[in-house]
Amino acid sequence: MYQLVRKFLFKMDPEEIHERTIHALKLAEDSPQGKSLLKMLFGFRDERLEMKLWGMTFPNPVGLAAGFDKNAEVYHALAALGFGFVEVGTITPIAQHGNPRPRLFRLQEHEAIINRMGFNNYGAYAASQNLVDYAYADIPIGINIGKNKATPNEEAASDYLKCMETLYRYGHYFVVNISSPNTPNLRDLQETESLRSLFREIRAKASEMELRGVKAKPILLKVAPDMTDEQMRDVVQAAVDEGAAGIIATNTTLSRDEVLGHPHADEAGGLSGKPLRERSTAWVKEIYQEVGDKVPIIGVGGIFTGEDAYRKIRAGASLVQVYTGMAYQGPGIAKMINKKLVKLLVQDGFTHIEQAVGVDAKA
C-alpha cells in the first residue's frame, strides 16, 4: 500500500512531506484512538528481541535515528509505530533556521537522500517543554545535541554544556553529535585532543547535574564514516577512555562514489540510504573489534530490511537505527524488520537477539 502512496508523495518536495508527516503524527498523538490505531497496525512484540542496555529495556533493537523528530514533538506517536527507541534532535542551545532551502534531495534510483539541513531546530528550551513527559513514551528516548552554527569551535563546548544544563533532566540517553557534515568545521571536533577535552567537560557537567539530584544518563558519541581506519580507532578509543557509554556508527557520508552521475550527486550535504549500507556495517564491525567488549554500538546507515539490520547486529551492533529507510519503506518499517529478525534468529539457531551481536566480528 505504501509503495502506491509513495509514488504520489515523491512528486512533492521532500521537506514539505516531512513537515506534513510531523503534523499528521501530532494529530495521532493528540488522540487516544489515533495512537491505539497506530499500535494496532504497526506494533510488534517478541521477548526474543528485547535488549537490556545501560540499565534500561529496549522492547526491540530497531530505533529511529535523530533528524526525524528534531524538536521532540512526536516521539509518542513514533513509539506507537513500533520502534524500540527514538532519538530526537539534533538540538542546539539556541533556535536556528538551518541552511537555506532546498536542502533535502532524493536520489530514488539509489534509494538514497542527500541532506544539508544544518541542525534546524527550535532550540533546547523548546525541546525541554516537549520532553516533560518523555517517561510515558514506553520506550527509551535519546537526545542528540549539537552546537549552533555561529559558535566557533573554540567555544563549542559551551554549546554542548548549555544543552546538557537544559535537557539533562529529560530523556534516557544523550548523543554528542560532532559528526554532521552540515555545520561548518564541526567534524574538526573529532580530532583526538579536541574530542577528549569536549568529553571531559560534558562528563563534568553530567556529574554536576547528578549532584543536583538528576539521574545519571549514558552519553554516546556519533561518529562519521569518512575517516581512515587509524582515525576511527583513535576517535573511538579516546571517547571510551573519556567515559562515552556507547558509539553510534555512522552519520551520513560526504562520499559520492556510489551515486556518481546522478543529477543530485554534486549537491552539498551528507548522503544516507543504501549507498551507505556496506560502509557503515564495516565500521560497526571494526569498532566492535576495537571496543565491543567495553561499550555497546548502535548501527545506522542504509537499513531497509530485516536482513540489513541483522547484518549490522552480527557485525557488532546491539541496536540499530533507521531513517532514510522509513522514507522509502514507509511507517511499517520497524514491524517489518522486527518480524524478519525473529525469523533470522530462529534460522541461525539463536533464542535471543543478544546471542547474534558480534558473531561475524568474532569469527
Q: Which pLDDT score, from 0 to 100, does residue 2 have?
A: 77
Question: What are 41-66's pLDDT values in tens digits?
Answer: 999 999 999 999 999 999 999 999 99
Contact between residue 325 and residue 303 where contact means Cβ atoms under 8 Å apart: yes
Calculate mean pLDDT across residues 94-114.
Answer: 97
Longest dimension (CA), the chain: 55
Strand 62-64 versus strand 246-249 pairing type: unpaired
Residue 32 binned pLDDT confidence (cut-offs 50, 70, 90): confident
Element (H, E) at 143: strand 141-145
> In terms of residue numbers, what domain contains 321?
2-362
- Among residues 15, 6, 181, the alpha carbon closest in space to that of 102 is found at 15
Closest CA to 88 of 141, 26, 23, 166: 141
- Report the pLDDT averaged over residues 305-334: 97
State pLDDT tens for residues 169-190. Answer: 999 999 999 999 989 999 999 9
Measured between its terminal Cα atoms, the distance across the chain in Å is: 40
**Averaged pLDDT for residues 118-141:** 97
Q: How many domains does the chain have?
A: 1
User: For residue 3, what pLDDT band results from cuts at 50, 70 and 90?
Assistant: confident
* C-alpha neighbours within 13 Å on the C-beta side of residue 107: 25
In angstroms, the CA 171 to CA 177 distance is: 16
Where residue 45 sits, what CATH number does that domain have? 3.20.20.70
CB-CB contact of 205 with 165 (8 Å) = yes
pLDDT higher than threshold 80 for residue 363:
no
Distance, CA of 37 to CA of 81 (rounded, Å): 10
pLDDT at 15: 96
Q: Which residue, among 351, 287, 331, 325, has the nearest Cα to 28 in the 3D structure?
A: 331
pLDDT over 90 at 1, yes or no = no
Separation CA 222–CA 181 (nearest Å): 12
Question: Is this model's pTM higher than 0.85 or not?
Answer: yes
Tell me the catalytic residues. Answer: 180
Going by the DSSP 8-state scheme, the letter that residue 275 receives in this structure is G
